[in-house]
Amino acid sequence: MDEGDRKKPAASPSSARAETVSGAIALSEEQRLTWLQLLRSENVGPATFRDLINHFRSAAAALEALPDLIARGGAAGKIRIASREMAEREMEHAAREKACFIGMGEPDYPPALRSIDYPPPLICVKGNPGVLTQNAVAIVGSRNASVNGMRLAGRFAAGLGSAGYAVVSGLARGIDAAAHRNSLATGAIAVFAGGVDVIFPEENGALAGEILEAGGALVSEMPMGWKPRSKDFPRRNRLVAGIAHGLLVVEAARRSGSLISARLANEAGRPVYAVPGSPLDPRHEGTNWLIKQGAMLVSDADEIISDLADSLPPAGNAFWSGGAQEDDIAEPPAPETGDTRKAVLDALGPEPVEVDDIIRFTGASTGQVQLVLIELDLAGRIEWHGGNRVSLV
């Protein structure tokens, strides 16, 4: 996990119509609604959303094109397109919960989160959105933590907070909870695997309330009312790693969600820190292994603060350059043809391949290949991987 392993994703082109505000954007309420409608449609994840906006230049135009795109992609069954009414209901639900949706590129969107591969276009935030603009460090670890492990997590959280860092974690039992409790006064950010109105585990409901009262924030990319499933937690961990400038692991088994968070942080170019422990305690097996892999061994918050002071902040990876307008587009991209679709399918296989290689293999334009991939993605026939790579499902 040395500097050479820290990936720096390249910036992507502009694509959303928005008003420029201090170098960022401000979505209109209509745009926010159409973004939510597009994002809640089946098979539209962050990567597909990005490509749809890049190709069609607005969520409204992308929504209008979805039925034809799905049909051309060869979907095996019916693909659900979220209705405007569904998006309006979720917006109203969020308002009742005193939550809001923040679009990527808006002033309160976490700056570091923009630099990960395929950042969530919209996040739902309950509490103080301003805390998301602080530099942040993630602290994660075992749910079945020892007393000493929780004491250490609290000490790190307090030390980082005194240096101006917000602390990010997942509101789980053990290390997460200790990190949150000791960062209430300086900035606590809890990331959920379900909707921001669904506290999990329920026993940490009081802690979530304390975070809100102290001026912290609850964050999720999942729909309001969404009850978390086991497969939603790696997605939560991706946001924990992405919001932070670095990630600390305090007590973790060899197979644990904390190590998933560490891997995701490393892939996003974030430094990973670990507290060593006894080889006789399974709760330290994961942290000791991380140190062997190149994670920085730390024993106090000052070591993290010093290391981050010498590190470059995560580079932005927004899918538009702030403030570009739909009206700036001179002409639409060339449509794809049946021959292009066949050539792209011939280039794909079960192993991930870079999109640039597909473009070279087919000889088609970037816009034509992008459109075919959008169709196949909406039909559920391809899967996106890091590094702008794609494979057949």
Q: Which amino acid is at 215?
A: G
CB 156 within 8 A of CB 250: yes
What is the spatial distance between Cα 374 and Cα 314, in angstroms, rounded to a whole number? 28
Q: Which of 42, 36, 34 has the alpha carbon at shortest distance from 70?
A: 42
CB 221 within 8 A of CB 124: yes
Q: Which residues of the chain have pLDDT under 50?
A: 2-23, 320-332
On the 0-12 / 13-18 / 19+ scale of CB atoms within 10 A, 29 is: exposed
- Residue 156: which residues within 8 A CB-CB, separation 6 or more? 139, 179, 248, 250, 300, 301, 304
What is the spatial distance between Cα 272 and Cα 288, in angstroms, rounded to a whole number? 13
pLDDT of residue 340: 87
Q: Starting at the earlier edge strand, list the strands of the sheet with 389-392.
A: 353-354, 389-392, 382-385
CB 158 within 8 A of CB 182: yes
pLDDT of residue 19: 35
Q: 307: how many CB neighbours lie within 10 A of its CB?
A: 14
What residues are paired with 26 via a beta bridge? Answer: 19
Q: What is the DSSP string of 115-133?
A: GSSS--SEEEEEE-GGGGG
What is the spatial distance between Cα 180 and Cα 207, in angstroms, rounded to a whole number? 8
Q: 309: how many CB neighbours lie within 10 A of its CB?
A: 8
- Write the DSSP symbol of residue 389: E
Tokens at residue 90, please? 């979720």
What is the spatial distance between Cα 374 and Cα 381, in angstroms, rounded to a whole number? 10
Can you list the domains of the chain with their CATH numbers?
11-96+334-392 (1.10.10.10), 125-309 (3.40.50.450)
